[in-house]
Chains A and B, each alone.
Chain A
């Protein structure tokens, strides 16, 4: 997981300048998300609680992916009002982290809500781009959104049952979390390969010139 995250982050950094606006937003999210992943793995290795990172990750995930879908809509359809969505999301996530599931607790409520909202945005994206002519960028964005859909869909089910899961044996809990982890890892590999492909293509173009 750590190895894939590092490789993917490096690929995004190398390729960042050549990316389109939509992919730049996703690239930044991907980079920060990978950094949080690496940090959480480091903290876990050192037996330090990393639950607060889950709160931060939820907020970052929500903000960046909402901006990503806004950028997609701006290019391929009619954009939704960005600021109200961002502010409402921020208030709900912060309220949950301050008053309901505090920073040292697992934030299943806001994470579930964020997953649900992003799932709706992903479906909306597919609906909006149904009659848009397929371009190279749209193909990549669709691949990314498809992967996001799979991750959010799985996460939503897991998070919905997260409180119930606390009552079952740890080994069983691990099966479910590992399944979700494998899915996230697979999507990260796909994202990494996509950025690697872009990098390879831009290099070949330079050579041709």
Chain B
């Protein structure tokens, strides 16, 4: 009887120990699950915060660009034009002194350069055509300016299919194209650039292709404005891809975005 009691005591001790261990393991697993869930939530929150911050930065940047562009165009450029007009009148009145006339010519020339530079700067900061006449005209103007240089031949097809009305969205699309063109002009040594817009259900697909030297996609850095393109693509609620290969010449950029403001 005593033997049986001792055996049962030991067995009871073993079972208690097993139960304690199982509960401990369960407790640790539950704890780990909770900690990981909190970590994951924290990471998601951080990502969402960064995304919001980035979007707000881009929006603030555009608003500020618009403000400076308007100041340059409506205020400084206008005042420069008035000065130009007054100098022109002054030149007419002073005809006797060739030295003064020469000086006025120099001032006029510098003033013209400053006016042009101010206007260009204003247009670079915020394309006035986009603001006033819409993306179709802005893109046509962009193609005209590029084609006049005769360095690159730019063709844009299907831009009339763009149905976006939101000014910010149109600006983001314009900026993406601007960024891609900048990269092509700076690095690609391309002679032909082709931009095509094609409808795909309620989406619009934009393909940008150049015949430049291409690049290694693994070495893409933010210096190429990829971060900017990524943010603006996200603001358009679109998906994008960049394909290039050092051995196969050229670059292909693909962007698919909702072609209406509801999405």
**A interface residues with partner B (beta carbon < 8 Å):** 123, 126-127, 129-134, 146, 149-150, 153-154, 156-158, 160-161, 164-165, 167-169, 172-173, 175-176, 179-180
Contact = CB atoms under 8 A, between A and B. Distances in A.
B36 interface: yes
A126 B18 contact: no
A153 B28 CA distance: 17
B35 A158 contact: no
B32 A161 contact: no
Contacts of A130: 28, 31-32, 35
A156 B17 contact: yes
Closest 3 CB pairs of A and B: A168-B3, A126-B28, A172-B7
Given A146-B25, A150-B21, A131 B10 contact: no
B35 A168 contact: no
A65 B36 CA distance: 27
A190 to B, nearest CB: 14
B28 A176 contact: no
A155 B38 CA distance: 37
Given A133-B36, A165-B6, A127 B28 contact: yes
Contact of B3 (A123, A131, A156, A172): A172
A157 B10 contact: yes
Contacts of B31: 130
Nearest to B28: A126
Contact of B11 (A150, A160, A176): A176
A150 B17 CA distance: 8
B39 interface: yes
A157 B17 CA distance: 8
A16 B75 CA distance: 78
Chain B: interface size category: 20 to 34
B25 to A, nearest CB: 5
A167 B7 CA distance: 11
Given A123-B24, A126-B24, A153 B17 contact: yes
A133 to B, nearest CB: 7
B20 interface: yes
A161 B18 contact: no
8 contacts: A133-B39, A150-B18, A153-B18, A153-B20, A157-B10, A161-B6, A175-B7, A179-B14
Contact of B10 (A123, A150, A153, A158): A158
A123 B23 CA distance: 12
A129 B35 CA distance: 11
Contact of A172 (B6, B22, B35): B6
Nearest to A132: B32
A165 B10 CA distance: 9
A177 to B, nearest CB: 10
A180 B91 CA distance: 113
Nearest to A146: B25
Nearest to B20: A153
A149 B22 CA distance: 9
Contact of A157 (B4, B13, B28): B13
Contacts of A149: 21, 24-25
A118 to B, nearest CB: 13
Contacts of B25: 126, 146, 149
A134 B32 contact: yes
